[in-house]
Chain A
Amino acid sequence: MAPNMTTDLWPRIEPLLGRVEKPARYIGMERGSVSPQHRPDQVSWLLIYPDTYEIGLPNQGLQILYEILNEREDAAAERAYAPWVDLEAEMRASGLPLFSVDTHRPAGAFDVLAFNLSAELVFTNVLNCIDLAGAPVRAEDRRDQDPLVMCGGHCAFNPEPLADFVDAFVIGDGEEVVGEINDVLVAWKRAGKTNREGVLRELATVPGVYVPSMYDVDYDGPFLAEVRPKYPGVPAAVEKRTVADLAEWPYPKNQLVPLIEVVHDRLNVEVFRGCTRGCRFCQAGMITRPVRERPEEQVRMMVRDGLRRTGYDEVALTSLSTADFSGIDDVVGDIVNAQEGTGCVGVSLPSLRVDAFTVGIASQIQQVRRTGLTFAPEAGTWRMRKVINKLITEEDLFAAVDAAYSNGWRRVKLYFLTGLPTEADEDTLGIAELARNVVAIGRKYTKSASATASIGGFVPKPHTPFQWFGQNSVEELRRKVGLLRDATRRSGVSLKWHDAEASFAEGIASRGDRRIGKVIERVWRGGGSFQEWSECFDLGRWTDAMAAEGLDPDWYVTRHRTEREVLPWDHVTAGLHKDFLWQEWRSALNEHGLPDCRWTPCYDCGVCTGQALEHVVASTVAPAGGSQGTGQDLERGGAVPVAFLGVKDAAGNGGGARAR
């Protein structure tokens, strides 16, 4: 782009906004936002969430990096979100590029376009945003003065489908590595941003950074033979970054408060990162290990300060399983009882464990405000739950549900997956039976008791024990949903299900290799943006693109992989030993559960030993609460001892004390 370009596009954007849906998506001005003055000695980052503003704004990863970068003297960061199709049409008609919402600066004026990848179906939006920024979508076509395109987030753990379009991926926690990348880019910018190849070579040496153009890919027929570094110094495998101590990163400190309603529209405080429950379908749990709790005192401080600063009337304590946070009942009780200032602050606990202990916490919360109660048994039979290692007994589920209805809830939500490995029709139908039993328990207390069962079609994900599993076909997923519809008629169970075709497309993108890049490009060029949205999604675009590229969708989606197969993401590691994952896959097929290593001996999944990390948990004992605590009657793993941190000291003060 010309260096003398105007940097405030607002006068050109404003006249278009009267013609589009939800124009406030594009105005910025959130409390907590900044309007940086860009200087030549700073690296300018445009942090892009490639979905709508309402989905993207609350993303905590993006907000954390926004703050960390803007705190640096040598960086300035702004934000952008994918314009909805109506504004995109207006922008393309009037030649307006993608812009930041903070100062309405053209995306092409930034040094870096950094995308958050939270879901695979946004991949086509990444291409669309690069294109709207005015840069060539393929990395090899970009020149020295074009922005560098980077991606991070959970989907970066299989970077290959986007490898053709992205200059560098960041694997794992971004808090530390973003600064290291900025250091490299400051020097590059000072030298006039020439030698794009040189800066990419240098980025490839930063731990946790994967530069796809530095690797050659060999195939053996349809199979991957090898992904190999082109140059010495480029690592053969890129290992994820892990922030060892969450206490050092109390971000976001200034959570953005949007002017329009967004998802998760509340104060969000991350109480821990990582999860070792070990659910075998769960990519998030596998790639974010080990568990790192935030000290209880810091949680309280972030809640107190956050509520005061934002004016929110609700705070969510976020993690992958918040009821596992050491001292969760005290923290929740204190928030509920504090109610300083204006009062009436609600607490929400996403991702609740299924047991009566959890319901006890929820009952404390509903003294202020009744929230929905959602449990995720994930599967309908105990056998199936052993396969997926979601070790909830029926007794626990029913006790939890009994506690909920007896405490006044009239409806509970239940989350299930269908299409899991070894799932037989009796397992599928077990979902209906479980849900009907839940309603029956509720009817003891109130005639109006009901339950919602949400059914997701299972999509196997990289870096999980189920990465070798052949996903169910569209027809099979539909048949299973059909069984459930028949089995829940007139039962008080209301059934919701995910579109099986969308699960199939997600399957293509989730475990795709570099060849899928051309498919994504075709889908995008054909107009297939916003594939997460049912009004825009079209499986035909994907299967047509696969056919045009001579690729077989079933080979990618429904085929079981073998132990020896080179997987497209093998050169990216979350620290998990591949043989641990394979062993877990075998255990799943043998219906063997594996307990949580926070409270039982280490079975050496590879993360702690490989990265010299430890769990950071304040309590050495599992929280009260039945089968998901330590009371599991299961075979144990190896005998490598785990050092627990933050054991309560003799004076009894401080779950937050963190002895090393």
Chain B
Amino acid sequence: MAPVRGDVGFPVRLRFTKHGKVRFVGHRDLARSFERSFRIAALPLSFSLGFSPRPKVSLGLALGVGHESDGEYLDLELAEPIAVEALPATLTETLPVGVEVIGAVALVPRAPALQEAITSVEYDLRPAGLSFPVLHAAVEQAMGAEHLPIETTRKGRAVVEDLRPGLRRLELRDDVVEAEVATQPRGIRPAELIGALRGLAATAIGSGEDRVLRTHQWIERDGARQQPLEADRAPRASDDVRAPSKGLINARRDDDRGGGDRADTRDHGADAQDHGADAQDHGAPQRRIA
């Protein structure tokens, strides 16, 4: 049964990072770590009805096993409102090493689910075994091309699909390929993109492991591009009234928002955490000692 979002409960969105060894833990397993962390923190979780009540927790777009991220998101629904400011430090304490919660906001009721709301995703790609000139040429060629076909399988059948329509941006900085891909009409997996670049470079798979870092996820709505912690955040009367900091996430967002109500009611705890400055203050995750 799909979680009913914000019907009776109080939805909260978390932003977290995933770095290091924990990158090998898959999406669903990580969700289970979060559920246990919520329980250790004794959060008042909302549960689904039925014989096997499940907490209403939903992760955003799946991150491939082995990839790292600066910006992952998770929504949970609580049965009663709580102060979200302390959540990042509290949860990080009991999450696996390398998973750090760096922001938490209350959401408006019935905020669209992350899976539907996210419109584009940014990655830093480090394909193994491709020299800078070769990679440079491949990137130029990919952005200049009308089509970027890849071979893949659908329902066991080999098909050719075009990555180009979903490819927003591809740039080479040093040896890192920065990519922004849309989630529609089809999501593009980083491995597919790296495969396409290899195809253009006409190079066999290099030795070593391709490294992928997800840097951002975006919600584009009515022409404005927002970070998921901003897009559907609930206004809170108790918040400090303060001007939004510049350059926290993306200058365009602040411009687009035009200093409306929501900008004035930003939760300053989460605000600072969005750009990660406060994240350091929470301290590095503790090594668990028996």
Contact A344 B51 (CB under 8 A): no
CB-CB nearest in chain A for B50: A370
**Interface residue? B123 (CB, 8 A):** no
Given contacts A254-B290, A259-B96, A369-B51, contact A311 B25 (CB under 8 A): no
Please, how many angstroms separate the alpha-carbon atoms of A24 and B32 in the complex?
14
Which stretch in A26-34, A141-149, A514-522, A580-588 binds the other chain?
Answer: A26-34
- Residue from the list B35, B65, B208, B288 in contact with A31, Cβ < 8 A: B288
How close is B97's CB to chain A, nearest CB, in angstroms?
A: 5
Contact B35 A23 (CB under 8 A): no
Contact A23 B40 (CB under 8 A): no
**Interface residue? A313 (CB, 8 A):** yes
Which stretch in B41-49, B153-161, B196-204 binds the other chain?
Answer: B41-49
| Residues 339 to 360 of chain A near chain B (Cβ within 8 Å) | 340-344
Contact B24 A34 (CB under 8 A): no
Please, how many angstroms separate the alpha-carbon atoms of A307 and B289 in the complex?
17
- Count residues of chain A with CB under 8 A from any CB of chain B: 42
Contact A342 B209 (CB under 8 A): no
Q: Mark B223-238, 1 if CB is under 8 A from A, else 0.
A: 0000000000000000
Please, how many angstroms separate the alpha-carbon atoms of A26 and B22 in the complex?
11
Contact A33 B288 (CB under 8 A): yes
Given contacts A24-B26, A27-B21, A29-B21, contact A311 B36 (CB under 8 A): yes
Contact B26 A260 (CB under 8 A): yes
**What residues on B are CB-neighbors of A259 within 8 Å?**
22, 25, 29-30, 33, 96
**What residues on A are CB-neighbors of B29 within 8 Å?**
24, 259-261
* Number of A-B residue pairs at CB separation under 8 A: 98
Contact A311 B35 (CB under 8 A): yes
**What residues on B are CB-neighbors of A24 within 8 Å?**
24-26, 29, 65
Please, how many angstroms separate the alpha-carbon atoms of A341 and B21 in the complex?
30
**What residues on A are CB-neighbors of B287 within 8 Å?**
35
**Interface residue? B53 (CB, 8 A):** yes
**Interface residue? A67 (CB, 8 A):** yes
How close is A116's CB to chain B, nearest CB, in angstroms?
A: 18
Q: Mark A423-438, 1 if CB is under 8 A from B, else 0.
A: 0000000000000000
Please, how many angstroms separate the alpha-carbon atoms of A30 and B288 in the complex?
8
**Interface residue? A309 (CB, 8 A):** yes
Contact A342 B45 (CB under 8 A): yes
Contact B44 A342 (CB under 8 A): yes
| Residues 11 to 60 of chain B near chain A (Cβ within 8 Å) | 21-22, 24-26, 29-30, 32-33, 35-40, 42-45, 47, 51-53, 55
**Interface residue? A46 (CB, 8 A):** no
- Residue from the list B30, B44, B290 in contact with A32, Cβ < 8 A: B290
**Interface residue? A620 (CB, 8 A):** no
**What residues on A are CB-neighbors of B217 within 8 Å?**
none
**What residues on B are CB-neighbors of A17 within 8 Å?**
24, 66
**Interface residue? A310 (CB, 8 A):** yes
Given contacts A29-B97, A31-B94, A33-B290, contact A23 B65 (CB under 8 A): yes
**What residues on A are CB-neighbors of B97 within 8 Å?**
29
CB-CB nearest in chain A for B39: A311
Contact A23 B66 (CB under 8 A): yes
- Residue from the list A35, A260, A313, A366 in contact with B39, Cβ < 8 A: A313
**Interface residue? A18 (CB, 8 A):** yes
Contact A311 B209 (CB under 8 A): no
Contact B36 A257 (CB under 8 A): yes
How close is A302's CB to chain B, nearest CB, in angstroms?
A: 15
Please, how many angstroms separate the alpha-carbon atoms of A261 and B32 in the complex?
9
How close is B11's CB to chain A, nearest CB, in angstroms?
A: 17
| Residues 222 to 280 of chain A near chain B (Cβ within 8 Å) | 253-254, 257, 259-261
Please, how many angstroms separate the alpha-carbon atoms of A253 and B290 in the complex?
8
Contact A15 B24 (CB under 8 A): no
**What residues on A are CB-neighbors of B30 within 8 Å?**
259
Kindly list 13 other residue pairs between chains A and B, CB separation below 8 angstroms, not including A17-B66, A259-B29, A311-B39.
A15-B208, A17-B24, A24-B65, A27-B24, A32-B288, A33-B290, A34-B289, A310-B40, A341-B39, A341-B42, A342-B39, A344-B55, A370-B51
Residues of A with Cβ closer than 8 Å to B? Answer: 10, 14-15, 17-18, 23-24, 26-35, 66-67, 70, 253-254, 257, 259-261, 307-313, 340-344, 366, 368-370
Residues of B with Cβ closer than 8 Å to A? Answer: 21-22, 24-26, 29-30, 32-33, 35-40, 42-45, 47, 51-53, 55, 65-66, 94, 96-98, 208-210, 287-290
Q: Which 3 A-B pairs have the closest CB atoms?
A: A311-B36, A311-B39, A341-B42
